[in-house]
Amino acid sequence: MDPLSDVLMLLKPRSYVSAGFEAGGAWLLAFPPYEGIKVNAVLSGSCWLAMGDGSDPVRLREGDCFILPKGRPFRLGSDLGAPPVDAGTVFGRASPGGVAALNGGADFVLAGSRFSLDAAHADILLDVLPSVVLVEDVRDREELRWILTRMRREVRERLPGGDLVAQHLAHLMLVQALRLYLEERAGVGVGWLYALADRRIGSAIGAIHAEPARRWTVQQLAERAGMSRTAFAVRFKAMVGRAPMDYLTRWRMALAADRLETSGDAIPAIAASLGYDSESAFGAAFKRVMGASPRQHGRRRRPSHTASPPPASGAP
């Protein structure tokens, strides 16, 4: 399995709201803070997206796909000067998974989904992403174009099994949007996600994910990357934001935390499976990274902070 798949599997993204939205005339929706991650696509028309962090508004057009990973309040509308309408009120009138409408028109059509993520590991993905992940005009991208076409049909026609189909389409849209975002921004951001787009550093990260229990050295990882030890160490830290051995340890602890939360495996067995000769060495590394001992973490087992969805405020 590749590193992006590894992390998404660890985060266990679960789509709990998939819905459509259409509007006509001048309109503005206000969305409150939320938990999880939102993935949306503009099926027709255009609008403005304004985040509640003071950043410049973003113009969204037909074919644009965008991810909102930070849980911040935002506004979406054709006119940012129009009186804002509470999104929860608008989406509350629609049936679950249906189409919410505003001003009785269809000048603008949006489809999207909201995901819950495993709370213990959400920062692995979200901390390296900006407040808006925008992939512009995906109509010429075959994979996403197909997803958007199917999403449009599911949202409009409410076919049998449509809720399940929409959830699977939302997962595909999330992965494809991240792929395209990485392709367009290779070498721009800092973090493991951006580093995957670099052939050399990406190969080293892939090796770590493929064999997390192996006693990797910087030299061995540098050889996988086809670089000298020094050049590799410098480039890895510059692109990932952490030294190679630090990244290895943190990935091991993320895997360990997931095992503690979801399996009945004993701590010594988990430690051994991740390359640690002693439970004490494993425990020290785990506490340093996770802020609690393995036993304390195991006792805290609880569902994701969004496993029980909060009151709906709309998928977009």
Give yes or no: residues 180 and 198 share one domain.
Answer: no
Interhelix angle 3-11/162-184, rounded to 10 degrees, is 140
Q: Looking at the structure, tell me whether residues 71 and 209 fall in a common domain.
A: no
Query: Mean of the per-residue pLDDT values for the chain?
Result: 84
pLDDT of residue 311: 42
> Regarding beta strands 37-44 and 108-116, do their DSSP bridges make them parallel or antiparallel, or are they unpaired?
antiparallel
- Write down the pLDDT at residue 96: 59
At residue 114's C-alpha, the angle toward residues 84 and 35, to 5°, is: 80
Residues 97 and 240 grouped into a single domain: no
Asked if residue 288 belongs to a domain, the reply is yes
Single out the residue in 166, 184, 202 at which a domain terminates: 184
Domain of residue 292 covers 192-299
The pLDDT of residue 205 is 95
Same domain, yes or no: 160 and 221 = no
Residue 252 domain-assigned (yes or no): yes
Q: Is residue 307 part of a domain?
A: no
Q: What is the pLDDT of residue 113?
A: 83
pTM for the model: 0.77
Report the Cα 146 to chain-centroid distance in Å: 21
Output the pLDDT for position 99: 81
Query: Of 167, 184, 201, which residue is a domain's last?
Result: 184
Q: Is 143 exposed, middle or buried (0-12, 13-18, 19+ CB in 10 A)?
A: middle
Beta-strand pair 133-135/65-68: antiparallel
Residue 114 located in a structural domain: yes
283 found inside a domain? yes
Burial of 287 from C-beta contacts in 10 A (0-12 / 13-18 / 19+): middle
Spell out, as residue ranges, where the chain has pLDDT lower than 50: 302-313
- Say how far apart CA 260 and CA 223 lie, in whole Å: 33
Are 232 and 173 found together in one domain? no
